Amino acid sequence: MSMVPDRAELVDRLRTFDIIPTHQRLVIAQALFSRRQHVSADQLLSQVNLTHGEVSKATIYNTLNLFEKKGLVRRVVVDPERIFYDTFMDSHPHLFDVEKGELYDIEAPDLQIVGLPPLPPGMRQEGLDIVIRMRPIAAFN
């Protein structure tokens, strides 16, 4: 969604994914889907509580986990301490700025993955996440 979705659009979207549109889920969805973004649970909590102070951290985590399970957001793990939720569901690589702690989508039409190992019998590939970590050259000097 490129523009801020209204309540009716959010209700329909959640119901399409078999999610009961409770008040708190709608408040979280409004902040989450107001633009294409990568957001951590703490960042989302701050966004939501600017206007709706009654949403707890546990509710944010539970809702993000539900949205991920149902296919509304993708979890992007840049390291064990940093997890972002991506509202853009198409497969795409990311750049992670280690210094700033920011995650960016990158357009990589020429990116090719060659030579993936065979999966164990009875398994199929579900996804492939590419995160390129970067930092300013000056940081290495």
Give the pLDDT score at 65. 96
Give the pLDDT score at 122. 95
Look-up: residue for tokens 């940081």?
Answer: 139
Give the pLDDT score at 140. 60
Confidence of residue 4 (pLDDT cuts 50, 70, 90): low
- The C-alpha atoms of residue 103 and residue 27 are separated, in whole angstroms, by 24
Q: What is the pLDDT of residues 27-80, one digit of tens each?
A: 999 999 988 889 999 999 999 988 877 889 999 999 999 999 999 999 999 988
Whether residue 30 is contained in a domain is answered as: yes
Number of domains in the chain: 1
The answer to pTM > 0.85 is no
Whether residue 60 is contained in a domain is answered as: yes
Whether residue 27 is contained in a domain is answered as: yes
Q: Give the residue numbers spanning the domain of 61.
A: 7-84
Interval 86-90 mean pLDDT: 88
Q: What is the pLDDT of residues 101-136, one digit of tens each?
A: 999 998 877 788 888 899 999 999 888 888 989 998
Q: What is the pLDDT of residues 6-22, one digit of tens each?
A: 889 999 999 999 999 99
CATH number at residue 38: 1.10.10.10
Interval 82-108 mean pLDDT: 89
Give the pLDDT score at 91. 81
> Is the pLDDT reported for residue 2 higher than 50?
no
Whether residue 64 is contained in a domain is answered as: yes
> Is the pLDDT reported for residue 92 higher than 90?
no
Give the pLDDT score at 120. 94
Count of other CB atoms within 10 angstroms of residue 34: 15
Whether residue 51 is contained in a domain is answered as: yes
- The C-alpha atoms of residue 133 and residue 44 are separated, in whole angstroms, by 23
Listed as own residue / partner, the contacts of 122-128 with beta carbons closer than 8 Å and 24 or more positions apart are 127/91, 128/91
What strand order describes the sheet that includes 38-39?
38-39, 82-86, 74-79
